[in-house]
Amino acid sequence: MPKKNISGRSLSEAITSEDILGKEVIDIDGDFIGIAEKVLINPKNFNSLGISIDKGFFKRGLTIGKGYIERVTSHAIFLKINVPYLLKGKIVFDKDGKKVGVVSSIDLHGAQNRIKELHVKSQTSLPLLKKEIVIPNKIIRNIGDNVILKLTREQVMKRLGEKRLESA
């Protein structure tokens, strides 16, 4: 039996939280990110703000703004972005394909989906010599399965050395 409607407009095309919760969230690369566990709503105007994603038992949750959601379908929620936080643990190669290190953390521009810089732990056999390199977004050539830089490892280290001198 059709429900009575006193909203003042047709709600036939609206979706409910049940259509969102528990669904897989898939990024622009087709990667499964997690499961939608909450719908975030603005308490003043009741507009939806985004969704909260459960990434698994040992991983921290993630909140995605509604502007980054492409579509909600019968089986999943598709995003129109790659989630930069998933870069953690990826290998960073220089221009020549030499391994620079592994991404340890990511800095974004505020809460936007734009990478500001990557913190990369350089890989050495001696744990005491392990150091963190900060890679600014402008020297990243490509991000896919891993990260490829526009410069060689030596050029990156030189740049970082110059920056340190400037700030001193």
DSSP state for residue 4 in the 8-state scheme? P
How many CA atoms, within 13 angstroms, populate the side-chain half-sphere of residue 124?
9
**Piece of the chain touching another protein by CB under 8 A; list 35-43, 110-118, 121-129, 144-152:** 144-152
Q: Does 123 bind another protein (CB under 8 A)?
A: no
Choosing from 36, 51, 53, 147, the residue that interacts with another protein (CB under 8 A) is 147
**Piece of the chain touching another protein by CB under 8 A; list 52-60, 87-95, 120-128, 160-168:** 87-95
Considering the complex, what minimum distance in angstroms separates the CB of residue 37 from another protein?
17
Determine which helix (DSSP H) or strand (DSSP E) holds 119, and give its type and residue range. Answer: strand 115-122
Q: Does 15 bind another protein (CB under 8 A)?
A: no
**Piece of the chain touching another protein by CB under 8 A; list 7-15, 45-53, 138-146, 157-165:** 138-146
Q: Collapse the DSSP code of 165 into the 3-class scheme (helix H, G, I; strand E, B; otherwise coil) and give the result.
A: helix
Q: Does 106 bind another protein (CB under 8 A)?
A: no
Euclidean distance between CA atoms 143 and 126, whole angstroms: 28
Residues touching another protein, count (CB under 8 A): 30
Residues counted in the chain: 168
Exposure letters 37-73 (e unless 16+ CB within 10 A, then b):
eebeeeeeeeeeebbbbbbeeeeeebebeeebbeebe
Cβ closest to another protein, residue 88 vs residue 95: 95
**CA 33 to centroid of chain Cα atoms:** 10
Q: Collapse the DSSP code of 153 into the 3-class scheme (helix H, G, I; strand E, B; otherwise coil) and give the result.
A: helix
Q: Does 23 bind another protein (CB under 8 A)?
A: yes
Q: Does 28 bind another protein (CB under 8 A)?
A: yes
Choosing from 80, 98, 130, 150, the residue that interacts with another protein (CB under 8 A) is 98
φ, ψ (nearest 5 deg) of residue 100 = -95, -40
Residues that bind another protein (CB under 8 A): 23-24, 26-32, 73-78, 90-91, 93-98, 142-148
